[in-house]
Structure 1
Amino acid sequence: MKKFFPLLTQVSKALLKRKFHSSNRHFEQTEGDVQIGNPFCLEPIEYESRTLRKHDNDRRQKLYEFGLYVAACLPKYVQKIQMQHTDELEILIAPEGFLPVMSFLKLHQHACFGQVSAATAIDVPSREFRFEVAYTILSLRFGEFVRVKTYTDELTPLESTCSLWSGVNWLEREIYDMFGIIFVNHPDLRRILTDYGFEGHPLRKDFPLTGYVEVRYDDELKKLVYEPVEYAQEFRRFQIESPWSYMKNFHEGYNEKKPEKQDKK
């Protein structure tokens, strides 16, 4: 990562004009995400607590400068970069630049992110683009994690990254199964956690907790039968007592009145 530091001076004017830290209509920047004094320098975090993990300000600054470098190389797609309170770099990109940015992070000599550690999504139905997709990638060469985020809706697909990382195949299948996000050019986009005939996507916020159908084994038909969800009881009441409630039966004199306090003479 030290190799690209001299290049920052060449792109400084372009970075200042683009205003990477201005709030975006799709990504809402919360107070404290990025500490900005100098646009190219994070304010060091110092505190006297002895119980919390101390911030490595040098490492935070290098990661932040790497984010600036990625934004300068791909100004068309990178919408914002930010450092979280856990000293993690996040790169927020437009959906159309998902595969180009991922290719840059995988193949560029100053990045070399050769492994996807995690990939997931969240659903916020109130947003115009309700799904926020996040990939956590690891650079084995530099020993650093970076989180890449983008957004989409129910109808807009994302480019699959299986051509870059073969191990992301199952992760993208899980995102498709749980959220219904489509990945184009995926080699085998099928459900992976639910049945192939399952209706709906369980991790969407508008999906009912009880689901739509239930499965049971029919002894007469000798096969699994799918039926609409039906409660056997109209009203269920469960009374669960804590251990302190029933242990009173084993203590002598538990139900007796407490002795009155005697006045001290």
Structure 2
Amino acid sequence: MDDLSEFAKQLEASCSHLYVSAEISLGELTVTTGREHIVALLFHLRDDVQFKFVCLLDICGVDWPERPERFEVVYHLLSPSLNQRIRLKLSTDEQGPVPSACAVYPAADWYEREAWDMYGILFEGHPDLRRLLTDYGFEGHPLRKDFPLTGYVEVRYDDNQKRVIYEPVELRQEYRHFDFLSPWEGTDYVLPGDEKTTGK
């Protein structure tokens, strides 16, 4: 924890104007910044000799539908030479684009495409922002918390027709009623097969 505290102090001394807050929680440093500063902060963390965060591990989205800026974009970086990790996060809404990190880390390409596909987060300046995990004609963004669980079509490859087909979503398992009774107290009804033990 002391190393992380020293690291946070170095960060504050070198680029405090590029972020809003830095917090150490559960053994990890999380830095909150704004959309307008994310690219400059990423460049600084990558190129400054005291940080050397040369590896982008992940970019992911988080949906908070009750907030005015409902999405958080979270970046995880690694500095192999310092054996340190850092998390950056920023907030945005459905219309506000986030500057693309592809100019800093080429690996950001598919991470940003995934965040666009799953959440609808826009990345300004991305070279090829299109769907990655869903079909090109897919409507909506499936990891949004307000995305409906039914009522859409699913896409699958039909081996008989030798092509991709669309069909309504179908639940393969029939609906079951669960009684949620304690296994230690037993049930108040006869289970199939129990009649054999009573001698009836």
TM-score, normalising length: structure 1: 0.62
Q: Which residue in 2 is equivalent to 1:158?
A: 98
Q: Number of residue pairs matched?
A: 191
Q: Which residue in 1 is equivalent to 2:28?
A: 88
Q: Which residue in 2 is equivalent to 1:74?
A: 15
Question: Which one of the candidate residues 64, 78, 84 is aligned to 2:5?
Answer: 64
CA contact (8 A) 1:154 1:180 kept: yes
In structure 2, do the counterparts of structure 1 residues 216 and 138 end up closer, same or farther at CA, with 3 Å as the change threshold?
closer
Whichever structure has more strand as a proportion of its residues is 2
Q: Which residue in 1 is equivalent to 2:127?
A: 187
Give the Å deviation of 1:253: 6.6
CA distance in 2, matches of 1:101, 1:201: 28
Amino acid of the residue matched to residue 237 of structure 1? Y
Deviations 1:41-84 (A, max 9, x none): xxxxxxxxxxxxxxxxxxx1222232233233333331111111
Q: Which residue in 1 is equivalent to 2:108?
A: 168
TM-score, normalising length: structure 2: 0.80
Amino acid of the residue matched to residue 84 of structure 1? S
CA contact (8 A) 2:150 2:169 kept: no
- Aligned runs of 1:105-116 on 2, under 5 Å? 105-116=45-56
Query: Which ranges of structure 2 fall in alignment gaps of 5 or more residues?
Result: none
CA distance in 2, matches of 1:92, 1:127: 16
Question: Which one of the candidate residues 178, 182, 203 is aligned to 2:143?
Answer: 203
- Greater C-alpha radius of gyration: 1
Deviates more, 1:204-213 or 1:115-124: 204-213
Deviations 1:85-105 (A, max 9, x none): 2x1111111111111111110
Structure with greater contact order relative to length (CA < 8 Å, sep ≥ 6): 2
State the secondary structure of the residue aligned to 1:73. Answer: helix
Give the Å deviation of 1:194: 0.4
Q: Which residue in 2 is equivalent to 1:213?
A: 153
Give the Å deviation of 1:216: 6.3
Give the Å deviation of 1:151: 0.9
Percent identical pairs in the alignment equals 40
CA distance in 2, matches of 1:73, 1:90: 16
CA contact (8 A) 2:101 2:108 kept: yes
Deviates more, 1:62-71 or 1:184-193: 62-71
CA distance in 2, matches of 1:72, 1:194: 43
State the secondary structure of the residue aligned to 2:197. Answer: coil
Q: Is 1:254 paired with 2:188?
A: no
CA distance in 2, matches of 1:119, 1:153: 16
Amino acid of the residue matched to residue 84 of structure 2? E
CA distance in 2, matches of 1:117, 1:222: 38
- Computed over aligned residues only, the root mean square deviation of the Cα atoms, in angstroms, reads 3.3
Give the Å deviation of 1:209: 1.3
In structure 2, do the counterparts of structure 1 residues 238 and 148 end up closer, same or farther at CA, with 3 Å as the change threshold?
same
CA distance in 2, matches of 1:181, 1:230: 25
Give the Å deviation of 1:217: 7.2
CA contact (8 A) 2:59 2:76 kept: yes
